[in-house]
A and B are shown apart, each in its own frame.
Chain A
Amino acid sequence: MDKKSYWNDIIIAFPILSKDEQHFEQCDDEQFVVIKNIIVENKLISFVHGMVMNKIKQDLMAKVNEFWLYFMPNNVVELSGLKTQEQIFEDYIGFEKFKTAIDELFNLAQSYVDTINRLQMLFENNNRINLLKNLNAQICALLHSQLPSDYNSIIYQFYRAALKVFSKDDIVGDKKNTSKEGASCCNGCNFEIVDCKCDYILESFHLTNWQLITIGILEPLAGDVIIDLIHQKIETEVLEITKENFGEHQVSTLEKWIDTNVYDWMKYIYKPKCSTTLNLEDTNIEVFMKKLKHLLYESYTRTRIDQLFNIIIEYPDSEPAVIDLSFTLHKTNLKSELCKKLQNALHSRLLHPAVNTIDIITAYTAAIKVLRKIDPCGALLQEVTQPIRAYLRSRKDTVRCVMTTLTEEGHYLTDELVRNENVLDEDDIYEEENMTDWTKWMPDPVDANPSKSSKRFRNSDTVSMLVDIYGTRELFVNEYRALLADRLLTQFMDNIGDEIRYLELLKLRFGDSLLHSCSVMLKDVYDSKRINHHLYSDPTSNLSSNNLNNELEFPVRAIIVSNQFWPNFKDNFNVELPPVIQKHLDNYTKAFESFKGNRTLNWKPNLGIINIDLQLRDKILNFTVSPIHATIIWHFQEQEEWTINDLSIKMCVPATTLRRRIGFWQNQGLLREKSFDKFIFVEDGIPTTSLSGKGNRNSVVSRNSEFVYGDDDDEMESAVASAQDQREEELQVFWSYIVGMLTNLDSLPLDRIHQMLKMFATQGTGVDCSLTQLRLFLDEKVKQHLLIFTGGRYKLAK
């Protein structure tokens, strides 16, 4: 028998092969067994199998086009351009389309099941061949072979619509529900509540997913979409829940949300209740959930990284967010992103001229605390804050601000200063630790920058970090000394108890020897008070009350300083004070000499303060001003008009300084520049209030007992040179050493010069000059043609 004679039988068994399959009924099982035997005996199995599968494939090919037609976007409108309401409606249409498409595809696939089952029977016991699976693969392959470009949009719509219904009771949904109380639309499907389609959607959704799983194309067709939608969902959820809210722990809430709501949803999609076939999806879901958790952490971390600057600014109120972030950051790999983004934020929001130094320092200390919490090993801290330190170094008032912060009453850094009193010898401790505890040695984390980080730095506390802005504690101590000198000399404090207390605190931190001169300064002030008291109470003193009978007499009190221990005083010109004042000072000096034996006093007439009454025709004005200010106005008492030049000669004060100080009296409306450089006293002048932003300086009320120390610029001029000035001075001293060295040794390499200078550095105030600083300094001299740099050696230019 040839194949042809069996054809009729084959067609009876597999009516799909007939030209007009509709006319043939599926034969019954008995008949099929007979035909099957014929096929098997004649070794026609593979022939029949080939024919049937080929036919099915052709059928499917014709249908696949129809299937994909459902996926054509219904209109050209970009979905992203739609408003929420419209999008929801579009989603619903998409939902219907997808549902129908899958339904049809499913029915089509089902229509082959009987045929496939019979075909399977031809292979009898051959377990290796699973034709149903082959069919599914075939369907999947065919679908993909004609994949339209934007097939995803309908799938998105389908799952989005369902997800919306599904998550209407979520955390976020809750909020919206309460805010939209009484709305007539259902929160899930967006239809009128009376017409709610939620149940229908869930039911259809359920069925469609089951169909997809049965055909085996859920994952290939919709897997990516589902994941993506869940990503989006997680992201919006994280964004929503973390929005500018740093004061609550949220990660656990989010984890719970993933574990319940998202898990339910996954189960709903991947494990339809009626399905009996796919138990293995259980473990898949578990794996999937782990991925989603990771996604959640990543999403949370990213969001917080974007907000990190604000979190730092709001610290410690933002502590919960910080703790959450430190938890999630360790589960992700986003440290370098955090570093980069935070640095960017710092640059654009903190490190520019519009921000006050003190605010930068506050942010810096907050950043230290936050970053240390997030990343206890300190590598991150080191890396991120490096630009802040670099920037702060470029600001002139940094050291001063830090010192002010450290000694400010009630500031938390003051507390820290007290608390961490044992860090004094941290370097030594560190060394020792290396020697004795080597078994506990831990390598630096891999992301620590080896070139910049020292363990000491990363482990040091906030105060040390502040001090480290400049690298040396000596510089800070010097600045503190300048600050203290300024305060002592300008405020004539009655109570230096606080200053003594702060000094003791600083000593705990920096050690006695560095702060020795500060101790002497405070002792000077304390002793001065005693001396003042003694000179006025001792009956043998020429200042005692028996001798104060002249009407002009006024009390003189003095701060007597031990010159060597105070910072250099600025403006060392000797103001020529009015004779009456000078006479009183001489009196005081005499009294001092007779009290102190072999000592005498050198007055610094440009320092100190004078309290004067200006008696005008109809009123008395009281001022507390510097001796220079007082002397200026004093001279107008004797002569109504003065030129700057005459006054400058009379007072021995440089004209520029004089002009600045005269400005104060101009602002008070008491002096007027009549013509260029010529000033006249005006009794009823009106204070020029507009000049200065400091309203109270010029208001009539505060003209009483006004304290003006320095010039009339915005800042009070300090009595002593700032650490910066002194540093320049010291470099100048270095320069004279260098010239001395080079004169004798002709030429020297940089490190040799540095070594020699190091020895002098310990001599004076203890300021060190790093190799880099020295090179910059020398290169500057080379630019000025004072030095020649050749063959790696510096020599003097001749």
Chain B
Amino acid sequence: MAGKTPSEKRLHKELISLVKEPPPGMIVDADQAEQNLNTWTINMQGAEGTLYDGELFQLQFKFGSSYPFESPEVTFVGQNIPVHPHVYSNGHICLSILTDDWSPALSVQSVCLSIISMLSSCKEKKRPPDNSFYVKTCNKNPKKTKWWYHDDKV
């Protein structure tokens, strides 16, 4: 344990509990995370009985040195970006707990569960209306975006 920063200590604990008791439909790439505790990739399955049933997504988490006091940077990456009114085609996600409503009591697991539930509650697969504009103009880091949160009921 010696030599780990407080944020790494907490990430380590989270990683272990994710591997030990993985929530359904989520697999963390533990090898990669172990190599570099500050970047994780999580493989996510679309929940059964939802529009995303059978689809596979990849979520990338990037943690800053003040995690968990600052939220992680969370984006979809890889070939398959879910088509969803809150998910831009560049992988950025419009979700309040990732910025304004972040709390240090949240964790990788709870963020993932929120995203799964966000996907699961979707009734129609479509991109956000401002997708093409946003994708052209946005900062690489979604946390730099000043989100105007979509209505959760979409």
Interface residue ranges, A against B (CB under 8 Å): 513, 736-737, 740-741, 743-745, 752, 755-756, 758-760, 762-763, 766
| Contact among B1, B13, B20, B27 with A737 in the assembled complex (CB-CB below 8 Å) | B20
Please report the C-alpha to C-alpha distance between residue A30 and residue B98 in the assembled complex, in whole angstroms. 137
Please report the C-alpha to C-alpha distance between residue A762 and residue B1 in the assembled complex, in whole angstroms. 6
- Chain B interface mostly: helix
B66 to chain A, nearest CB (A): 22
* Complex contacts, A758 vs chain B, CB 8 Å: 34
Please report the C-alpha to C-alpha distance between residue A390 and residue B13 in the assembled complex, in whole angstroms. 36
A756 to chain B: closest residue by CB: B30
Judge whether A756 and B34 touch: CB under 8 Å.
yes
A278 to chain B, nearest CB (A): 80
A743 to chain B: closest residue by CB: B22
* Complex contacts, B30 vs chain A, CB 8 Å: 741, 756, 759
Judge whether A759 and B21 touch: CB under 8 Å.
no
* Complex contacts, A743 vs chain B, CB 8 Å: 22
Judge whether B12 and A745 touch: CB under 8 Å.
no
Judge whether B16 and A745 touch: CB under 8 Å.
no
Please report the C-alpha to C-alpha distance between residue A3 and residue B8 in the assembled complex, in whole angstroms. 120
> With A744-B27, A763-B12 in contact, do A756 and B2 touch (Cβ < 8 Å)?
no
| Residues of chain B from 17 to 42 with CB closer than 8 A to chain A in the complex | 19-22, 27, 30-31, 34
* Complex contacts, A744 vs chain B, CB 8 Å: 22, 27
| Contact among A513, A745, A752 with B27 in the assembled complex (CB-CB below 8 Å) | A745
Please report the C-alpha to C-alpha distance between residue A349 and residue B88 in the assembled complex, in whole angstroms. 77
Please report the C-alpha to C-alpha distance between residue A758 and residue B31 in the assembled complex, in whole angstroms. 10
Judge whether B34 and A740 touch: CB under 8 Å.
no
Known: A737-B16, A762-B12. 12 other contacts (CB 8 A): A513-B1, A740-B19, A741-B19, A743-B22, A745-B27, A756-B31, A759-B12, A759-B15, A759-B30, A760-B16, A762-B1, A763-B12
Please report the C-alpha to C-alpha distance between residue A513 and residue B1 in the assembled complex, in whole angstroms. 8
B33 to chain A: closest residue by CB: A759
> With A741-B19, A744-B22, A763-B16 in contact, do A755 and B1 touch (Cβ < 8 Å)?
no
B18 to chain A: closest residue by CB: A740
- Chain A interface mostly: helix
Please report the C-alpha to C-alpha distance between residue A548 and residue B111 in the assembled complex, in whole angstroms. 58
Please report the C-alpha to C-alpha distance between residue A737 and residue B13 in the assembled complex, in whole angstroms. 13
* Complex contacts, A762 vs chain B, CB 8 Å: 1, 12
Please report the C-alpha to C-alpha distance between residue A258 and residue B117 in the assembled complex, in whole angstroms. 95
* Complex contacts, B1 vs chain A, CB 8 Å: 513, 762-763, 766
| Contact among A513, A740, A760 with B21 in the assembled complex (CB-CB below 8 Å) | A740
> Can you sample 25 A-B contacts with CB below 8 Å?
A736-B20, A737-B16, A737-B19, A740-B21, A740-B22, A741-B30, A744-B22, A744-B27, A745-B27, A755-B31, A756-B19, A756-B30, A756-B31, A758-B34, A759-B15, A759-B16, A759-B30, A759-B34, A760-B19, A762-B12, A763-B1, A763-B12, A763-B13, A763-B16, A766-B1
Please report the C-alpha to C-alpha distance between residue A740 and residue B20 in the assembled complex, in whole angstroms. 5
Judge whether A755 and B34 touch: CB under 8 Å.
yes
A759 to chain B, nearest CB (A): 5
A743 to chain B, nearest CB (A): 7
Please report the C-alpha to C-alpha distance between residue A582 and residue B46 in the assembled complex, in whole angstroms. 57
* Complex contacts, A745 vs chain B, CB 8 Å: 27
* Complex contacts, B2 vs chain A, CB 8 Å: 513
The 8 residue pairs across chains A and B that have the minimum distance between CB atoms: A513-B2, A740-B20, A759-B34, A744-B27, A744-B22, A737-B20, A756-B30, A760-B16
* Complex contacts, B20 vs chain A, CB 8 Å: 736-737, 740, 760
A771 to chain B, nearest CB (A): 16
B99 to chain A, nearest CB (A): 29
A734 to chain B: closest residue by CB: B20
A514 to chain B: closest residue by CB: B2
* Complex contacts, B22 vs chain A, CB 8 Å: 740, 743-744
